[in-house]
Amino acid sequence: MKLAMHKIRIDAIHSYLIYPLLAFPLWKENITMLFFVLFSVFNIRSFIITKKVTGIHKVEGWVLFIPFLIVLFSSFLRNEIHENKDALNHAGLFVALPLSFIMAPDYLFDKKKISGYLNFLLYSSLILILAYLLLFFYHNPVNDFFGTKYNSSLFRDFVYEKTIIFSIHPAYFSSVLFLGMAFCVEKIKHTFSLKYLSFIVVFYVFTFLLLSKLNILLMHILLIYALYSTKTITKKSKLISGFVFGILMSLFVVFTPGMFKRIEEIYKSFNTVPSGLAFDSTNIRRAIYTCDFELIQSNYLSGIGYSNIVNDIQRCFQSKYDSSFFEGANYMSHNFFIYTLLGSGIVGLILFLFFIFKTTFFLFRFHSITFQAFAVNTIAMCLIEDYFYRQNGAFFFLLWYLILLRFGAKNNKIENPIL
């Protein structure tokens, strides 16, 4: 009897250990990994008792090892294992998380649990939003909230550079908000809920405040799709709603601090190069991609090696631009597809494309707006950021993908995990 009660208590603790992982934007990266280690210890205990692993025997499971294997074999063939230890360390999440999750007990991955996890994501994101706002107003006068500097808002700069407690990049946090918004949209399409509508409004406004252009675009595509794909809304109502939504979007673009300037910057700076102190995020990104493709042209077959990417891009900047924008900065490729091609060559890129195809196809099979949006966001982020090189990007993707992988394996079929 005592042993049974002890097991129940341990299982109860185990079921709660996944929640700190879901709230990873709240923690520093090393704290997130401590929570992951603790979760993994309990998963190993579960495996010792049940002798069961789930989800790895199918291609949707073992395909997750590909990003790590690309880095490992490329480093081995180039005899650069030691030089590429940082790249191997970052890619190691694609081994560590799958190996941990396949040992986790089945009861963590039923439909009710997944809805609970997504609701927890909503509330943990709301806590972070409130924390950012409170910290900003504590350290700055109210007028600074509407202030701008160098085509950005003072609030976004505060979130990006001056918050000591939290370390997630605004673009990555906006991806978390986008997943939460997609979940709310899917729930509302099924049954209207004022709670989920409120979360959509809050996440919409805060994504604008973060000035995350990509996720603002994806957010509007999602909302427009949700509006015009809902069969219960009449055509007249759709037209009126679309008109009102267009006006609101325009107002947010014009009046959100820094938003209009960042859009204006794209048109003014895209065809200019950094010169002296005249540089901004647009022409810097253009310079990065110019050097990316210059390196690719002569190295697309075998790449340049992961340890050389930053230095070779830096040398390209020095040879092409009479500017100081790169001094003291270690710019990477800002595109994970290019990062893979430069690091491992064409074979590595082909393997990564296979990884993207299989994981995207798997996510779309659930016929869930939430996870289809998640898949699209992942690809889009890989196109503009070194998404899987960063712990928050890789961890976010793997966490939700593995939850779905275990859900599908537990039910032995693919079905919408939300409705």
176 — alpha (psi -120 to 50), left (phi > 0) or beta? alpha
What pLDDT is attached to residue 235? 85
Residue 131 has pLDDT above 70, yes or no: yes
Please report which confidence band the pLDDT of residue 105 belongs to, taking 50, 70 and 90 as the band edges: very high
Count of C-beta atoms within a 10 Å radius of residue 29? 13
The percent of residues in the chain predicted with pLDDT above 90, rounded, is 72
Write the CA distances from 363 to 65, 369, 398, 408, integer angstroms.
17, 10, 12, 11
In this prediction, residues 139-161 reach a mean pLDDT of 90
Q: Read off the pLDDT of residues 2-26 as tens digits, 9 standing for 90 and up.
A: 545 555 677 788 999 999 999 999 9
Read off φ and ψ for residue 389, nearest 5 degrees: -75, -35
Residue 413 has pLDDT above 80, yes or no: no
Provide the terminal-to-terminal Cα distance of the chain, rounded to the nearest Å.
Answer: 38
Please report which confidence band the pLDDT of residue 42 belongs to, taking 50, 70 and 90 as the band edges: very high
Q: Read off the pLDDT of residues 177-204 as tens digits, 9 standing for 90 and up.
A: 999 999 999 999 988 899 999 999 999 9
In this prediction, residues 256-280 reach a mean pLDDT of 85
Residue 372, amino acid: Q
Query: From CA 246, how far away is CA 313, in angstroms rounded?
Result: 41
Read off φ and ψ for residue 335, nearest 5 degrees: -165, 115
- List, in sequence order, every residue forming a beta bridge with 278; answer none if it has no partner: 275
In this prediction, residues 224-236 reach a mean pLDDT of 86
Residue 87, amino acid: A
Q: Read off the pLDDT of residues 106-121 as tens digits, 9 standing for 90 and up.
A: 999 999 999 999 999 9
The pLDDT mean for the chain works out to 91
Residue 326: which of 387, 384, 276 has the closest Cα? 276
Query: From CA 190, how far away is CA 197, in angstroms rounded?
Result: 13
What pLDDT is attached to residue 299? 92
The 3-state DSSP class for residue 10 equals: helix
Name the more confident of 232 and 101.
Answer: 101
Helices and strands in the chain: count of H runs, count of E runs? 20, 2
What pLDDT is attached to residue 8? 62
Q: Read off the pLDDT of residues 284-293 as tens digits, 9 standing for 90 and up.
A: 999 999 999 9
Q: Are 272 and 323 in contact (CB under 8 A)?
A: no
Read off φ and ψ for residue 199, nearest 5 degrees: -65, -40
Q: What are the start-end ranges of the H helices in 78-193?
A: 85-91, 93-101, 111-139, 154-157, 170-190
Residue 222 has pLDDT above 70, yes or no: yes
In this prediction, residues 270-295 reach a mean pLDDT of 87
What pLDDT is attached to residue 140? 93
Q: Read off the pLDDT of residues 343-373 as tens digits, 9 standing for 90 and up.
A: 999 999 999 999 999 999 999 999 999 999 9
Please report which confidence band the pLDDT of residue 161 belongs to, taking 50, 70 and 90 as the band edges: confident
Residue 276 has pLDDT above 60, yes or no: yes
**Lowest-pLDDT choice from 70-74, 87-91, 329-333, 339-343:** 329-333
